[in-house]
């Protein structure tokens, strides 16, 4: 997350809440900071890449992922919460005829546990407003020029619901291991702004 926001009003409220919890003996001093640090250390695009690679090699897992993403990722010992607030997760799959892209038009809601810290451009007002109105133009700016017949669906994340894109598996990867496939997947691919 960019910038120092320690003087923001929400930061003051968070510090006050931490102090009250510690004073009342509900949490050990420093425990909240340790929990947050541990969560952020486990948050990585590598988690999302593991999910995609498994979906590519295991059609039954892919079906479970599309039907109930939180339960499916739990099979890989992953979750959205990391011990923090739990959000709903939906997986959406790209195909030769459909391309999915994710945005949060209100702020920057994002599956942090699975994709790591969000990129600066994802939080920008330009991306948030333009990808909804002119998704093909924005995707072209990312270097992704889709054929005219490909339908583009824009998914708007929010505080309760997050999305992860399952990109199309690249041709010629049939002999790669699951780990090698995971190495091909990028954070932008998981958001839908890049192919794999």
Q: How many CB atoms lie within 10 A of CB 150?
A: 13
Closest CA to 122 of 88, 91, 182, 162: 162
**Catalytic residue of the set 43, 79, 95, 109:** 109
Write down how long the chain is: 196
* Position 130 confidence tier, pLDDT thresholds 50, 70, 90: very high
Catalytic one among 81, 95, 107, 124?
107
Residue 79 among the catalytic residues: no
What structural domains does the chain harbor?
9-39 (no CATH), 44-191 (3.90.330.10)
Q: Is 124 designated active site?
A: no
Per-residue pLDDT averaged across 78-93, rounded? 72
Structure tokens at 45: 């695009």
Q: Give the span between the Cα atoms of 143 and 131, in whole angstroms.
A: 14
Mean pLDDT of 87-92: 90
| pLDDT at residue 24 in the model | 83
pLDDT tens digits, residue range 4-17? 445 656 667 767 87
Task: Give the pLDDT confidence of 26-81 residue by residue, as tens digits.
Answer: 777 776 666 555 544 566 899 999 999 999 999 999 999 999 999 999 999 888 76
- Prediction pTM value: 0.78
44 catalytically annotated: no
Q: Which residue has the higher pLDDT, 192 or 14?
A: 192
């Amino acid at each position: 997350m960019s910038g120092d926001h320690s003087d923001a009003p929400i930061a003051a409220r968070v510090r006050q809440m931490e102090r009250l919890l510690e004073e009342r003996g509900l949490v050990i001093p420093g425990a909240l900071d340790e929990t947050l640090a541990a969560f952020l250390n486990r948050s990585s695009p590598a988690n999302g890449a593991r999910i995609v690679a498994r979906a590519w090699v295991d059609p039954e897992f892919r079906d479970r992922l599309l039907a109930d993403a939180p339960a499916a990722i739990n099979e890989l010992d992953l979750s959205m919460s990391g011990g923090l607030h739990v959000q709903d997760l939906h997986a959406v799959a790209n195909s030769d005829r459909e391309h999915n892209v994710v945005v949060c038009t209100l702020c920057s809601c994002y599956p942090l546990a699975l994709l790591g810290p969000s990129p600066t451009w994802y939080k920008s007002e330009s991306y948030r407003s333009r990808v909804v109105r002119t998704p093909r133009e924005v995707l072209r700016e990312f270097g992704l020029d889709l054929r005219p017949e490909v339908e583009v669906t824009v998914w708007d994340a929010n505080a309760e619901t997050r999305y992860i894109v399952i990109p199309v598996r690249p041709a010629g990867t049939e002999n790669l291991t699951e780990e090698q496939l995971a190495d091909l997947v990028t954070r932008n691919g998981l958001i839908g702004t890049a192919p794999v």
